[in-house]
Amino acid sequence: MPSTTPDAPEPAPAPAPGAAPAEAFAPEEYPWVGPAVRSALLLSDGVVDLDPVGGVPAPTDELSETLVDVSAIEQALAAEGVAPLAERTLVVAVGSNQTPRTIARKYRRAGGGVPVATPFVRCTVHHLAVGHVANVAAPGYVPAAPYRSEGAQMELVATWFDDAQLAVIDETEPNYARVRLSAQHHPLTLATGAEPAHFDVYASQRGVLADGRPIPLRHRQQELFDELVALTGAELFIGDAAEVCARLAARPAALAELAHEHELVTEDGLHRAREAAA
């Protein structure tokens, strides 16, 4: 198995006395996923990269061979003494939950007793796209949310959580409902070669931002804020993204109010098999 990568989930160093704490997850930089999705294993001693050297040449479902050896994942989970894949829930992430760094931070904040080992596997999902929740997160950024888009094909990350981990992640998603989608409506191909019959996603409970149709995820909050200025004319969104995030954090209801006033909210259109069990 590949060696541990340098981005192991270690806490940031403590700030000097009197200094402001460093913000490793600056709100204006959401969703913090970097240039591309990847397959990885979050383990107790760091992150193991599962992608081949040199990267991935094509979408997961167009490759002639599997990218990730599921037996290697099972061996790693067994070595950590945690639940195997069969006892975990498959969740496809659309925002920052695609990264081991974000999930490791959520486990740390939950305190002791939460097992760390978590597989992250790239995947191709059909008829699913990613937009923005019509609401702000507590730090002031506008988070991602899935929506149905006929004919769309996206490369995302599927994550397997055990029951304790899933309870932690559910708790961190107050603006979402974890719902189950069927492969009948949203075909899914994992980098392991598997094509599961269903999977969970975190769907917005506030609708998604739309200008006639859902606004696709902007990978810089600045791009979204500039777009919202054009759509609403509101001074709230004018300026540097960090400043706008600070304003939104101080006025958490303002985005939803403006979005409804300007009719910039729509349903996500997802074919929910059911709401996933907590």
Please report which confidence band the pLDDT of residue 111 belongs to, taking 50, 70 and 90 as the band edges. confident
- Of all helices (H) and strands (E), which one includes residue 208? strand 208-211
pLDDT in tens, 148-200: 999 999 999 999 999 999 999 999 999 899 999 999 999 999 999 999 999 99
Helix or strand holding residue 246 (H, E): helix 241-250
Say which residue, 276 or 34, is predicted with more confidence: 34
Domain covering 27-275 assigned CATH 1.20.120.160 in the classification: no
Q: How far apart are CA 112 and CA 116, in angstroms?
A: 10
Confidence (pTM): 0.86
How large is the average pLDDT for residues 111-116?
Answer: 88
Q: Round the average pLDDT of the chain to a whole number and report it.
A: 87
pLDDT of residue 221: 96
Give exposure, 256-268, as e/b (b: 16+ Cβ within 10 Å): bebbeeeebbbeb
Other CB atoms within 10 A of residue 23 CB = 12
